[in-house]
């Protein structure tokens, strides 16, 4: 199970105020036991800057499928048993229709290290990689 609340991103090019937030009305629980047959999707709203008003309205849609367990090399070292997921990105926020997935991004997670690597395209970034292990 993965529980999704939202995310906040700050930095250059992140909207007119240098930040954006994505959120869902209530935390969403993605049940991975149904994969690969039942691909879970999450609809979120998007806020920019310090505003409490959603832009748009603009909808981002995410889908999730499991590739499998892998050993992966990142700047932090070798991470065993990282769960490789493919994250579909879509909706109006990503330039598609309301329920359309327009891009696929690879992400590796591991319970002790959270997000280990997020390949391109990662929303709002080029890509992410764990540099220093969590302790």
In this predicted model, what pLDDT tens digit does every residue of 22-73 receive, in sequence order? 666 667 676 667 666 666 666 655 554 445 554 544 667 777 788 889 999 9
In a domain, 64, yes or no: yes
In a domain, 134, yes or no: no
Residues 92, 97: Cα–Cα separation, whole Å: 6
Residues 95, 71: Cα–Cα separation, whole Å: 33
Q: Which of 13-17, 75-79, 86-90, 102-106 has the lowest mean pLDDT?
A: 13-17
For residue 89, name the pLDDT band (cuts at 50, 70, 90): confident
pLDDT for position 84: 92
**E strands present in the chain:** 2-10, 19-30, 40-48, 54-74, 77-90, 101-110, 114-118, 128-129
Instruction: Give me the chain's average pLDDT, please.
Output: 74
Q: Tell me the CA distances in angstroms from 68 to 32, 53, 57, 126, one per residue in order.
A: 12, 39, 35, 23
Q: How many domains does the chain have?
A: 1
* pLDDT beyond 80 at 8: no
| Contacts of 106 by beta carbon, 8 Å cutoff, 6+ apart | 67, 84, 85, 86, 87, 117, 118, 119
Containing structural domain, residue 121: 2-129
For residue 78, name the pLDDT band (cuts at 50, 70, 90): very high
In a domain, 135, yes or no: no
As given in the structure block, the two tokens for residue 48 are 């920019």
């Amino acid at each position: 199970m993965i529980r999704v609340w939202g995310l906040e991103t700050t930095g250059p090019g992140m909207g007119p105020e240098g930040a954006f937030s994505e959120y869902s009305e209530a935390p969403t629980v993605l049940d991975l036991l149904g994969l690969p047959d039942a691909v879970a999707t999450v609809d979120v709203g998007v806020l920019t800057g310090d505003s409490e008003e959603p832009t748009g309205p603009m909808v981002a849609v995410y889908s999730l499928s499991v590739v499998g367990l892998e050993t992966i090399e990142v700047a932090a070292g070798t991470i065993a048993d990282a769960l490789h997921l493919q994250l579909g990105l879509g909706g109006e926020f990503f330039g598609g229709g309301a329920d359309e997935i327009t891009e696929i991004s690879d992400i590796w997670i591991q319970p002790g290290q959270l997000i280990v690597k997020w390949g391109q395209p990662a929303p709002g970034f080029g890509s992410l990689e764990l540099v220093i292990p969590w302790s």
